[in-house]
Chain A
Amino acid sequence: MRDDPRETSIEHRLKSWAGSRTDVQPSPEILQRIQRELRSSLVPVNPLPGESKLVATFLGGFAACAAGLIAVMDKTGFHLMTAAQIVWMAVILAAGGLLFSLMIAWQMVPASRHRFSLPVGLALCGLAVIGGVALLFPWRTPSSFVSEGWPCAAMELVVAVPAAFVFFLLARRGALWGSAGIGATLSGLAAVLALTALQGRCMFQQAPHLLVWHAGTAAILIGSGALIGHAIP
């Protein structure tokens, strides 16, 4: 293969193409202008904490908000769920909180090592919630599906929108540049928080209701967050 003149040619051309770039130098005036401009606002800064501390901050914020919301909200959902449903849903939602906290921390620091891509993270979270609800809860559709459903969607929005703003304030210390990814992850963490609060409150613990009005609203929230993030210059 190495003897193929085409292979030799591509390597040779790539090498000479890269080599032709090495003589590119910025003009001294440009360097001086940059140095002058940066020196004018040079003050000491505290480096961001490590990745694990950033994740702990978001996860701690998530847990504190979830505990506070569950404490003040109606707890009908807990009385209607079985022990297995409570435990599994708690595990899935806590894992979702951890996943989104990780993804936010990676995006706050340039050149962080991403263990998996954002679409993979979102797909994992979505599959866990959909799979968990589909397997754990009965497939009964109530007669008044819409009238029972929309108050849950509205409550989810009421919780998630301010929560997303709080998480944004926490994330602002990082290097956030308007992107769909940061919008999706911040709104994703807020959506998981709203799902957690709603799960303990909701009196309609059936799979169709939970999938459409709870998980569906969370998906819309994440999509909206991505669009807002993309639109911000």
Chain B
Amino acid sequence: MSEASIDDRELRNLMTQYQRADPAALNDLVRRVSPPLLRYFRSSRPGRNDAEDLLQECWIRIHRSRHTYRASEPVMPWIYAIARHTRLDAYRKRRRLESREVLVAAVPERFQDAAPEVLREPDGFDRLIAGLPETQREVLVLLKVSGMSLEEVAKATASTVGAVKQKAHRAYATLRRALAKDFDNAG
């Protein structure tokens, strides 16, 4: 099920019911919105297996800030704006932890087998996408994977439509250059 197929009118209705503490609306909302959210987290952080943790954290934030949703506004940009904050905070937390970690010369043998489960190395086109700057990758994920419009992406990223267009254009240019290199190497 893609986001485009989620009826926004139904979602608005569910959100309003959720604000009124209707447990059925909550269950329905979690069931409908979680798949696109999980796709967003998976695509935004290729190679990392913490998407389900982020999904849970994101729902806690949605729950805590559900009073900030207004029925006159579309639901998905509001949800993606919260998801984006969840992802950025997790990234900052990870960076802080990594900066405190002590480098070891060699990974102890008993941990070597577990490592691939924690970090899955992306390959092929995934690698090109993973190599894009954070802001450009985010715009591509929201436009292509989440199927949002430029206006919706601008809202979700607290940005302007012009800035979103510029980031998408730059992402395309970077991918084009990388693919051209592949073409030339193959040729």
Contacts and interface: CB of A to CB of B under 8 A. Distances in A.
Contact of A111 (B27, B43, B73, B176): B73
Interface in A21-41: 21-22, 24-27, 30-31, 33-35, 37-39, 41
Contact of B26 (A39, A112, A114): A39
A35 B27 contact: yes
A38 B59 contact: yes
A42 B69 contact: no
Nearest to A45: B67
Interface string B28-56: 00110011001100110000000010011
Contact of B82 (A50, A110, A233): A110
B70 A109 contact: yes
B156 A111 contact: yes
Contacts of A117: 159-160, 163
A35 B56 contact: no
A34 B30 contact: yes
Interface residues of chain B: helix, strand, loop or mixed (majority): helix
Interface stretch (A7-15, A79-87, A144-152, A215-223): A7-15
Given A22-B39, A117-B163, A31 B158 contact: no
Interface residues of B, number: 58
B175 A10 contact: yes
B6 interface: no
A2 interface: no
A6 B158 CA distance: 33
Given A27-B52, A30-B52, A110-B68, A17 B129 contact: yes
Q: How many of chain A's residues touch chain B, expressed as a range?
A: 35 or more
A48 interface: yes
Given A25-B35, A117-B159, 10 more contacts: A10-B175, A35-B26, A35-B30, A47-B68, A109-B70, A110-B85, A111-B156, A174-B68, A175-B61, A175-B82
Interface of B: 2, 19-21, 23, 26-27, 30-31, 34-35, 38-39, 42-43, 52, 55-56, 59-61, 63-71, 73, 77-78, 80-82, 85, 89, 93, 125-126, 129, 140, 144-145, 154-156, 158-160, 163, 172, 175-176, 179-180, 183
